[in-house]
Amino acid sequence: MAALLARQLLAELDNRRLVVALVDTQQELRFQAFHDPLTGLANRALFADRLRHGLELHRRDLRQLRLLYCDLDGFKTVNDTLGHDAGDDVIKALPSGCGRSPAPVTPSPGWAETNLRSC
């Protein structure tokens, strides 16, 4: 009887470990699905998801929705003269200049940045 209880306890502990590992893996996959691997910034999929959510809140509760679009003139020159690491640093620094909200800042085609926030 003691051996059976010990085996069940070990199985329970192993199951808990597996659940924790599964949750960690799911969180990592969710991050990878919604963020650029080089910069860690939100990608278009996360931007589209947040935009849909913001529009739904606007329709339902008449909440304001703000969209900030910043075009980075001469960004290609930064990459060409200073290198892609410097370009990545510029992109990573943009969210800190976009206000208080943790809204996603998303690189879009042509290296313009888009920031979306619900009010």
What domain range includes position 49? Answer: 44-118
Q: Alpha-carbon distance 83 to 76, whole Å?
A: 10
At position 26, the amino acid (one-letter code) is Q
This prediction's pTM: 0.61
The per-residue pLDDT for range 41-61, each reduced to its tens digit, is 888 888 888 889 889 988 999
Q: Give the 3-state secondary structure of residue 73.
A: coil
Mark whether 63 and 83 lie in a shared domain: yes
Mark whether 61 and 114 lie in a shared domain: yes
Mark whether 12 and 68 lie in a shared domain: no
The per-residue pLDDT for range 99-119, each reduced to its tens digit, is 555 556 665 554 445 555 554
Nearest by Cα to 35 from 95, 110, 101, 76: 95
Mark whether 30 and 49 lie in a shared domain: no
The per-residue pLDDT for range 8-35, each reduced to its tens digit, is 999 999 999 999 999 999 999 999 999 9
